[in-house]
Structure 1
Amino acid sequence: MISLKSLGVNKLTKIKICGLKCEDDILYANKLKPDYVGFVFAKSKRQIDKYIAKKLITKLDKNIKTVGVFLNNSVDTVKEIAEFCELDIIQLHGDEPPEYCNFFDREVWKAFRVKTKESFKNLKHYNANGYLLDTYTKEAYGGTGKAFNWSLASKISKEKFIILAGGLSENSIDKAIDIVKPAVVDVSSGVETNGSKDFDKMERFIGKVRMII
Protein backbone atom coordinates (compact mmCIF):
# COMPACT_ATOMS: atom_id res chain seq x y z
CA MET A 1 0.00 0.00 0.00
CA ILE A 2 1.27 3.49 -0.86
CA SER A 3 1.40 5.68 2.24
CA LEU A 4 0.42 9.34 2.41
CA LYS A 5 3.87 10.04 3.79
CA SER A 6 5.58 8.49 0.77
CA LEU A 7 3.46 10.74 -1.44
CA GLY A 8 4.52 13.78 0.56
CA VAL A 9 0.99 14.45 1.80
CA ASN A 10 0.85 16.43 5.04
CA LYS A 11 -2.21 15.31 7.02
CA LEU A 12 -1.00 16.77 10.30
CA THR A 13 -0.95 20.53 9.86
CA LYS A 14 -4.32 22.20 9.38
CA ILE A 15 -4.93 25.56 7.73
CA LYS A 16 -6.72 28.71 8.83
CA ILE A 17 -7.33 31.56 6.41
CA CYS A 18 -8.07 34.65 8.47
CA GLY A 19 -9.66 37.99 7.73
CA LEU A 20 -12.50 37.03 5.37
CA LYS A 21 -14.64 40.06 4.54
CA CYS A 22 -16.70 39.47 1.40
CA GLU A 23 -18.54 36.90 -0.70
CA ASP A 24 -15.55 36.35 -2.98
CA ASP A 25 -13.54 35.27 0.07
CA ILE A 26 -16.26 32.73 0.90
CA LEU A 27 -16.28 31.42 -2.68
CA TYR A 28 -12.52 30.97 -2.55
CA ALA A 29 -12.73 29.15 0.77
CA ASN A 30 -15.53 26.86 -0.42
CA LYS A 31 -13.45 25.85 -3.41
CA LEU A 32 -10.09 25.45 -1.66
CA LYS A 33 -11.45 24.07 1.63
CA PRO A 34 -9.11 25.27 4.38
CA ASP A 35 -9.86 23.70 7.75
CA TYR A 36 -10.72 27.02 9.40
CA VAL A 37 -11.60 30.57 8.36
CA GLY A 38 -11.37 33.62 10.57
CA PHE A 39 -13.58 36.67 10.93
CA VAL A 40 -12.01 39.65 12.69
CA PHE A 41 -14.34 41.50 15.05
CA ALA A 42 -11.51 43.55 16.56
CA LYS A 43 -10.62 46.99 15.27
CA SER A 44 -8.34 46.47 12.29
CA LYS A 45 -8.24 46.85 8.53
CA ARG A 46 -9.95 43.45 8.32
CA GLN A 47 -12.69 44.20 10.85
CA ILE A 48 -16.15 42.93 10.00
CA ASP A 49 -19.46 43.46 11.79
CA LYS A 50 -21.54 40.60 13.08
CA TYR A 51 -24.33 41.05 10.53
CA ILE A 52 -22.05 40.74 7.51
CA ALA A 53 -20.16 37.89 9.16
CA LYS A 54 -23.38 35.96 9.81
CA LYS A 55 -24.48 36.44 6.20
CA LEU A 56 -21.14 35.17 4.92
CA ILE A 57 -21.11 32.21 7.30
CA THR A 58 -24.49 31.02 5.99
CA LYS A 59 -22.82 30.62 2.58
CA LEU A 60 -19.72 28.85 3.91
CA ASP A 61 -19.12 25.12 3.46
CA LYS A 62 -20.31 23.58 6.74
CA ASN A 63 -17.18 21.41 6.96
CA ILE A 64 -15.05 24.55 7.41
CA LYS A 65 -14.88 25.70 11.02
CA THR A 66 -15.40 29.37 11.84
CA VAL A 67 -13.15 31.37 14.15
CA GLY A 68 -14.07 34.77 15.57
CA VAL A 69 -11.14 37.03 16.45
CA PHE A 70 -11.67 39.33 19.45
CA LEU A 71 -9.44 41.85 21.20
CA ASN A 72 -10.02 42.94 24.81
CA ASN A 73 -13.80 42.80 24.50
CA SER A 74 -16.20 42.22 27.35
CA VAL A 75 -17.24 38.62 27.94
CA ASP A 76 -20.84 39.52 27.14
CA THR A 77 -19.87 41.05 23.79
CA VAL A 78 -17.87 37.99 22.76
CA LYS A 79 -20.65 35.64 23.85
CA GLU A 80 -23.31 37.62 22.00
CA ILE A 81 -21.38 37.72 18.72
CA ALA A 82 -20.29 34.08 18.99
CA GLU A 83 -23.88 32.95 19.49
CA PHE A 84 -25.30 35.28 16.85
CA CYS A 85 -22.81 34.09 14.22
CA GLU A 86 -22.76 30.49 15.51
CA LEU A 87 -18.97 30.52 15.69
CA ASP A 88 -17.11 27.28 16.30
CA ILE A 89 -14.09 28.87 17.96
CA ILE A 90 -13.36 32.06 19.88
CA GLN A 91 -9.87 33.50 19.36
CA LEU A 92 -8.71 35.98 22.00
CA HIS A 93 -6.00 38.20 20.63
CA GLY A 94 -5.59 40.80 23.37
CA ASP A 95 -4.53 41.08 27.00
CA GLU A 96 -7.31 38.90 28.37
CA PRO A 97 -6.43 37.37 31.79
CA PRO A 98 -6.36 33.57 32.32
CA GLU A 99 -9.80 33.39 33.95
CA TYR A 100 -11.36 35.08 30.90
CA CYS A 101 -10.98 31.85 28.90
CA ASN A 102 -13.26 29.95 31.27
CA PHE A 103 -16.44 31.93 30.52
CA PHE A 104 -17.27 30.36 27.15
CA ASP A 105 -19.13 27.23 26.11
CA ARG A 106 -17.14 26.69 22.93
CA GLU A 107 -13.53 26.15 21.91
CA VAL A 108 -11.12 28.98 22.84
CA TRP A 109 -7.78 29.86 21.26
CA LYS A 110 -5.59 32.36 23.12
CA ALA A 111 -3.00 34.39 21.23
CA PHE A 112 0.47 35.23 22.53
CA ARG A 113 2.86 37.68 20.90
CA VAL A 114 6.34 36.25 20.65
CA LYS A 115 9.47 38.32 21.20
CA THR A 116 11.81 36.10 23.24
CA LYS A 117 11.61 32.73 25.01
CA GLU A 118 10.10 34.61 27.93
CA SER A 119 7.02 35.15 25.77
CA PHE A 120 5.96 31.56 26.44
CA LYS A 121 6.00 31.70 30.24
CA ASN A 122 2.33 32.74 30.52
CA LEU A 123 0.94 29.89 28.42
CA LYS A 124 0.81 27.59 31.43
CA HIS A 125 -1.60 29.93 33.21
CA TYR A 126 -4.24 29.72 30.45
CA ASN A 127 -6.75 26.90 30.15
CA ALA A 128 -7.24 27.23 26.40
CA ASN A 129 -7.91 24.68 23.66
CA GLY A 130 -5.26 26.23 21.44
CA TYR A 131 -2.35 28.65 21.77
CA LEU A 132 -1.77 31.00 18.86
CA LEU A 133 1.75 32.34 18.44
CA ASP A 134 2.07 35.63 16.58
CA THR A 135 4.81 38.20 16.18
CA TYR A 136 5.31 40.86 18.83
CA THR A 137 5.19 44.43 17.54
CA LYS A 138 4.63 47.64 19.46
CA GLU A 139 2.15 49.04 16.97
CA ALA A 140 -0.30 46.13 16.67
CA TYR A 141 -1.59 42.93 18.26
CA GLY A 142 -1.35 40.99 15.01
CA GLY A 143 -1.95 41.01 11.27
CA THR A 144 1.33 42.79 10.54
CA GLY A 145 2.70 40.22 8.11
CA LYS A 146 5.91 39.96 10.15
CA ALA A 147 7.44 36.67 11.30
CA PHE A 148 9.17 35.97 14.60
CA ASN A 149 12.15 33.68 15.19
CA TRP A 150 10.45 30.30 14.73
CA SER A 151 13.27 28.43 16.45
CA LEU A 152 12.00 29.92 19.73
CA ALA A 153 8.86 27.79 19.31
CA SER A 154 10.55 24.60 18.11
CA LYS A 155 9.63 22.59 21.22
CA ILE A 156 6.35 24.08 22.37
CA SER A 157 4.18 22.13 19.89
CA LYS A 158 5.12 18.91 21.72
CA GLU A 159 3.28 20.23 24.77
CA LYS A 160 0.47 22.40 23.39
CA PHE A 161 -1.98 22.66 20.48
CA ILE A 162 -0.14 25.42 18.61
CA ILE A 163 -1.53 27.71 15.93
CA LEU A 164 1.34 29.46 14.15
CA ALA A 165 0.75 32.94 12.71
CA GLY A 166 2.81 35.93 11.66
CA GLY A 167 4.46 36.47 8.30
CA LEU A 168 3.50 33.14 6.74
CA SER A 169 3.37 32.82 2.96
CA GLU A 170 3.82 30.23 0.25
CA ASN A 171 7.54 31.03 0.28
CA SER A 172 8.07 30.48 4.00
CA ILE A 173 5.51 27.89 5.02
CA ASP A 174 7.72 24.83 4.42
CA LYS A 175 10.38 26.16 6.77
CA ALA A 176 7.83 27.28 9.36
CA ILE A 177 6.20 23.86 9.54
CA ASP A 178 9.54 22.07 9.62
CA ILE A 179 10.76 24.13 12.57
CA VAL A 180 7.62 24.58 14.67
CA LYS A 181 5.46 21.62 13.62
CA PRO A 182 2.25 23.46 14.58
CA ALA A 183 -1.19 21.90 14.66
CA VAL A 184 -2.53 24.80 12.56
CA VAL A 185 -0.98 27.50 10.38
CA ASP A 186 -2.82 30.82 10.27
CA VAL A 187 -2.38 33.15 7.29
CA SER A 188 -3.94 36.45 6.30
CA SER A 189 -1.74 39.04 4.58
CA GLY A 190 0.35 36.25 3.05
CA VAL A 191 -2.56 35.32 0.75
CA GLU A 192 -3.60 38.87 -0.11
CA THR A 193 -2.91 41.29 -2.94
CA ASN A 194 -3.57 44.96 -2.27
CA GLY A 195 -5.46 44.11 0.91
CA SER A 196 -7.83 41.57 -0.63
CA LYS A 197 -7.74 37.81 -0.59
CA ASP A 198 -6.03 36.43 -3.71
CA PHE A 199 -7.37 33.08 -4.93
CA ASP A 200 -4.10 32.04 -6.58
CA LYS A 201 -2.05 32.82 -3.47
CA MET A 202 -4.55 30.96 -1.30
CA GLU A 203 -4.40 27.97 -3.63
CA ARG A 204 -0.61 27.88 -3.66
CA PHE A 205 -0.37 28.32 0.12
CA ILE A 206 -2.86 25.55 0.84
CA GLY A 207 -1.16 23.32 -1.72
CA LYS A 208 2.21 23.88 -0.07
CA VAL A 209 0.87 22.97 3.38
CA ARG A 210 -0.92 19.85 2.21
CA MET A 211 1.92 18.60 0.03
CA ILE A 212 5.40 18.61 1.53
CA ILE A 213 7.45 19.84 -1.42
Structure 2
Amino acid sequence: MTLVKICGIRRAEDIEYLNNLKPDYAGFVFAESKRKVDVNTAYSLIKNLDRQIKKVGVFVNEKVSVVKDVAVYLNLDVLQFHGDEQQDYIDNFDDYTVWKAIRISEKSDVFRLRDYNVDGILLDSKINGFYGGSGMKFDWNLVNDVKDNLKCKFILAGGINPDNVLKAVETARPDVIDVSSGVEVGGFKNYQLMKDLICKVRSVKW
Protein backbone atom coordinates (compact mmCIF):
# COMPACT_ATOMS: atom_id res chain seq x y z
CA MET A 1 0.00 0.00 0.00
CA THR A 2 1.22 3.50 -0.80
CA LEU A 3 1.71 5.83 2.16
CA VAL A 4 1.00 9.58 2.19
CA LYS A 5 3.15 12.54 3.18
CA ILE A 6 1.59 15.98 3.45
CA CYS A 7 4.37 18.56 3.23
CA GLY A 8 4.58 22.26 3.98
CA ILE A 9 2.83 22.20 7.35
CA ARG A 10 2.90 25.65 8.96
CA ARG A 11 -0.38 26.43 10.75
CA ALA A 12 -2.28 25.15 13.78
CA GLU A 13 -5.18 24.40 11.41
CA ASP A 14 -2.88 22.15 9.38
CA ILE A 15 -2.13 20.11 12.49
CA GLU A 16 -5.85 19.73 13.19
CA TYR A 17 -6.37 18.44 9.66
CA LEU A 18 -3.48 16.00 10.00
CA ASN A 19 -4.67 14.65 13.34
CA ASN A 20 -8.11 14.02 11.89
CA LEU A 21 -7.01 12.47 8.60
CA LYS A 22 -3.85 10.73 9.84
CA PRO A 23 -1.52 10.67 6.85
CA ASP A 24 1.65 8.70 7.45
CA TYR A 25 4.10 11.62 7.31
CA ALA A 26 4.01 15.37 7.93
CA GLY A 27 6.67 17.54 6.30
CA PHE A 28 8.11 20.74 7.77
CA VAL A 29 10.17 22.92 5.42
CA PHE A 30 13.29 24.60 6.82
CA ALA A 31 14.53 25.95 3.48
CA GLU A 32 13.67 29.13 1.60
CA SER A 33 10.08 28.66 0.50
CA LYS A 34 6.69 30.24 0.97
CA ARG A 35 6.02 27.24 3.21
CA LYS A 36 9.14 27.70 5.34
CA VAL A 37 8.70 27.53 9.11
CA ASP A 38 11.19 28.54 11.77
CA VAL A 39 12.25 25.99 14.32
CA ASN A 40 10.25 27.44 17.18
CA THR A 41 7.06 27.51 15.13
CA ALA A 42 7.66 23.92 14.09
CA TYR A 43 8.17 22.96 17.74
CA SER A 44 4.82 24.49 18.75
CA LEU A 45 3.09 22.68 15.89
CA ILE A 46 4.75 19.32 16.45
CA LYS A 47 3.90 19.20 20.15
CA ASN A 48 0.24 18.93 19.12
CA LEU A 49 0.79 16.46 16.27
CA ASP A 50 -0.55 12.92 16.61
CA ARG A 51 2.44 10.76 17.52
CA GLN A 52 1.51 8.15 14.93
CA ILE A 53 2.37 10.64 12.19
CA LYS A 54 6.09 10.68 11.40
CA LYS A 55 7.83 14.05 11.32
CA VAL A 56 9.92 14.89 8.24
CA GLY A 57 12.30 17.83 8.15
CA VAL A 58 13.02 19.22 4.67
CA PHE A 59 16.41 20.89 4.17
CA VAL A 60 18.23 22.39 1.17
CA ASN A 61 22.03 22.67 1.25
CA GLU A 62 22.01 23.36 4.99
CA LYS A 63 25.02 23.16 7.31
CA VAL A 64 25.38 19.73 8.92
CA SER A 65 25.44 21.26 12.40
CA VAL A 66 22.20 23.16 11.79
CA VAL A 67 20.40 20.06 10.52
CA LYS A 68 21.54 18.06 13.54
CA ASP A 69 20.43 20.76 15.98
CA VAL A 70 16.99 21.00 14.38
CA ALA A 71 16.61 17.22 14.21
CA VAL A 72 17.40 16.82 17.90
CA TYR A 73 15.27 19.76 19.05
CA LEU A 74 12.22 18.56 17.10
CA ASN A 75 12.88 14.82 17.46
CA LEU A 76 12.50 14.38 13.71
CA ASP A 77 11.85 10.91 12.30
CA VAL A 78 13.07 11.57 8.75
CA LEU A 79 15.57 14.02 7.24
CA GLN A 80 14.74 14.94 3.64
CA PHE A 81 17.54 16.58 1.66
CA HIS A 82 16.19 18.44 -1.32
CA GLY A 83 19.27 20.29 -2.56
CA ASP A 84 22.65 19.40 -4.05
CA GLU A 85 23.80 17.24 -1.14
CA GLN A 86 26.22 14.42 -2.00
CA GLN A 87 26.82 11.09 -0.27
CA ASP A 88 29.67 12.39 1.88
CA TYR A 89 27.26 14.97 3.31
CA ILE A 90 24.52 12.40 3.87
CA ASP A 91 26.95 10.11 5.69
CA ASN A 92 26.87 12.57 8.59
CA PHE A 93 23.36 11.42 9.46
CA ASP A 94 23.71 7.68 10.04
CA ASP A 95 21.50 7.92 13.13
CA TYR A 96 18.51 9.08 11.09
CA THR A 97 16.23 7.87 8.35
CA VAL A 98 17.35 9.89 5.30
CA TRP A 99 15.47 10.61 2.07
CA LYS A 100 17.29 12.23 -0.85
CA ALA A 101 15.35 14.17 -3.45
CA ILE A 102 16.37 13.97 -7.10
CA ARG A 103 14.82 16.34 -9.61
CA ILE A 104 14.16 14.83 -13.01
CA SER A 105 12.86 15.89 -16.40
CA GLU A 106 14.35 13.22 -18.67
CA LYS A 107 15.53 9.61 -18.55
CA SER A 108 19.18 10.40 -17.81
CA ASP A 109 18.20 12.23 -14.60
CA VAL A 110 16.61 9.10 -13.15
CA PHE A 111 19.88 7.20 -13.07
CA ARG A 112 21.36 9.71 -10.60
CA LEU A 113 19.57 7.79 -7.88
CA ARG A 114 22.37 5.20 -8.12
CA ASP A 115 24.73 7.80 -6.65
CA TYR A 116 23.13 7.56 -3.23
CA ASN A 117 22.96 5.10 -0.37
CA VAL A 118 19.92 6.31 1.56
CA ASP A 119 16.68 5.05 3.12
CA GLY A 120 14.50 6.70 0.51
CA ILE A 121 14.77 8.30 -2.92
CA LEU A 122 12.27 11.07 -3.68
CA LEU A 123 11.72 11.95 -7.33
CA ASP A 124 10.46 15.47 -8.02
CA SER A 125 10.10 17.66 -11.08
CA LYS A 126 13.16 19.51 -12.35
CA ILE A 127 12.04 23.11 -12.80
CA ASN A 128 14.51 25.98 -13.16
CA GLY A 129 14.60 28.11 -10.04
CA PHE A 130 13.00 25.48 -7.82
CA TYR A 131 14.51 22.88 -5.50
CA GLY A 132 10.99 21.60 -4.92
CA GLY A 133 7.42 22.73 -4.38
CA SER A 134 6.90 23.86 -7.96
CA GLY A 135 3.54 22.11 -8.25
CA MET A 136 4.59 20.76 -11.65
CA LYS A 137 4.56 17.06 -12.53
CA PHE A 138 7.03 15.07 -14.60
CA ASP A 139 6.53 12.01 -16.79
CA TRP A 140 5.92 9.26 -14.24
CA ASN A 141 6.69 6.61 -16.84
CA LEU A 142 10.35 7.61 -16.53
CA VAL A 143 10.65 5.65 -13.28
CA ASN A 144 9.51 2.30 -14.62
CA ASP A 145 12.93 0.94 -15.60
CA VAL A 146 14.67 1.76 -12.35
CA LYS A 147 12.15 1.58 -9.51
CA ASP A 148 12.24 -2.20 -9.19
CA ASN A 149 16.01 -2.09 -8.66
CA LEU A 150 15.83 0.32 -5.76
CA LYS A 151 16.84 -1.08 -2.39
CA CYS A 152 15.12 1.73 -0.51
CA LYS A 153 11.76 3.49 -0.32
CA PHE A 154 10.57 5.25 -3.46
CA ILE A 155 8.79 8.57 -2.83
CA LEU A 156 6.95 10.35 -5.65
CA ALA A 157 6.44 14.13 -5.62
CA GLY A 158 5.73 16.91 -8.07
CA GLY A 159 2.32 18.19 -9.15
CA ILE A 160 0.28 15.48 -7.45
CA ASN A 161 -3.30 16.36 -6.47
CA PRO A 162 -6.61 14.56 -5.82
CA ASP A 163 -7.45 14.56 -9.53
CA ASN A 164 -4.31 12.72 -10.67
CA VAL A 165 -3.17 10.83 -7.58
CA LEU A 166 -4.74 7.53 -8.64
CA LYS A 167 -2.94 7.76 -11.98
CA ALA A 168 0.31 8.53 -10.11
CA VAL A 169 -0.06 5.48 -7.87
CA GLU A 170 -1.05 3.16 -10.70
CA THR A 171 1.71 4.37 -13.02
CA ALA A 172 4.67 4.68 -10.66
CA ARG A 173 3.64 2.47 -7.73
CA PRO A 174 5.53 4.54 -5.16
CA ASP A 175 5.98 3.57 -1.54
CA VAL A 176 5.05 7.13 -0.55
CA ILE A 177 3.12 9.95 -2.28
CA ASP A 178 4.42 13.40 -1.28
CA VAL A 179 2.04 16.32 -1.82
CA SER A 180 2.00 19.98 -0.85
CA SER A 181 0.49 22.54 -3.24
CA GLY A 182 -1.88 19.90 -4.62
CA VAL A 183 -3.93 20.01 -1.41
CA GLU A 184 -3.93 23.78 -1.05
CA VAL A 185 -6.40 26.55 -1.91
CA GLY A 186 -5.04 30.08 -1.98
CA GLY A 187 -1.69 28.87 -0.66
CA PHE A 188 -3.10 27.14 2.43
CA LYS A 189 -3.84 23.51 3.19
CA ASN A 190 -7.45 22.55 2.48
CA TYR A 191 -9.11 19.86 4.57
CA GLN A 192 -11.37 18.48 1.83
CA LEU A 193 -8.56 18.23 -0.71
CA MET A 194 -6.36 16.46 1.84
CA LYS A 195 -9.18 14.06 2.69
CA ASP A 196 -9.94 13.31 -0.95
CA LEU A 197 -6.31 12.59 -1.77
CA ILE A 198 -5.69 10.38 1.26
CA CYS A 199 -8.89 8.39 0.71
CA LYS A 200 -8.02 7.80 -2.93
CA VAL A 201 -4.49 6.63 -2.17
CA ARG A 202 -5.73 4.27 0.53
CA SER A 203 -8.33 2.79 -1.77
CA VAL A 204 -5.56 1.27 -3.92
CA LYS A 205 -4.25 -2.12 -2.81
CA TRP A 206 -1.16 -3.50 -4.51
Which of the residues 126, 149, 156 maps onto 2:116? 126
Task: State which of 68, 76, 93 in structure 2 corresponds to 1:87.
Answer: 76
Shift, 1:97, TM fit: 1.1
Note if contact 1:155-1:180 (Cα within 8 Å) is conserved in structure 2.
Answer: no
Aligned to 2:18: 29
Counterpart for residue 20 of structure 1: 9
Q: TM-score, normalized by length of structure 2?
A: 0.96
What is the identity percentage for the equivalent residue pairs of Structure 1 and Structure 2? 46
Maintained 8 Å contact 2:125/2:158: yes
1:21-60 aligned within 5 A: 21-60=10-49
Partner letter of residue 157 of structure 1?
Answer: K
Distance 2:199 2:119 in 1: 26
Report Cα offsets for 1:21-69 as digits up to 9, x if no partner. Answer: 0110000000000000000000000000011101111100000000000
In the alignment, the residues of structure 2 paired with residue 156 and residue 182 of structure 1 have an alpha-carbon distance, to the nearest angstrom, of: 12
For 2:59 and 2:166, the matched residues in 1 are separated by 28
- Tell me the amino acid that sits aligned with residue 144 of structure 2: S
The letter of the residue matching 1:16 is K
Name the SS for the 2:98 alignment partner.
strand
Unaligned runs of 5+ in 2: none
The amino acid that maps onto 1:72 is: N
Equivalence for 1:210: 202
Residue 159 of structure 1: how far off its partner (Å): 2.2
Preserved CA contact (<8 Å) 1:98 1:127: yes
- Give 1:17 deviation, angstroms: 0.2
Tell me if the contact between 1:157 and 1:183 (Cα under 8 Å) persists in the aligned partners. Answer: no
Pairing 1:189–2:178 present: no
User: Is contact 2:111-2:146 (8 Å) kept?
Assistant: no
Of the three residues 138, 144, 155, the one matched with 2:145 is 155
| Distance in 2 separating the partners of 1:198 and 1:61 | 18
Deviations 1:128-164 (A, max 9, x none): 1000000000121110110000000123332222100
Q: Which amino acid aligns with 2:186?
A: N
Q: Unaligned stretches of 5+ in structure 1?
A: 1-11
Distance in 2, Cα, partners of 1:197 & 1:169: 12
**Partners of 1:156 and 1:58 in 2: CA distance:** 38
Q: Which residue number corresponds to residue 200 of structure 1? A: 192
Provide runs of 4+ in structure 1 moved above 6 Å. none
Distance 1:199 1:91 in 2: 24
Identify which of 157, 164, 171 aligns with 2:163.
171
Amino acid in the other structure paired with 1:47: K
Residues of 2 paired with 1:123 and 1:74: CA distance?
22
Q: Is the counterpart of residue 66 in structure 1 residue 55 in structure 2?
A: yes
Residues 82-102 of structure 1: CA deviation (Å, up to 9, x unaligned): 111110000000001111111
TM-score by length of 1: 0.93
Amino acid in the other structure paired with 1:151: N
Of residues 165-174 and 116-125 in structure 1, the stretch that sits farther from structure 2 once superposed is 116-125
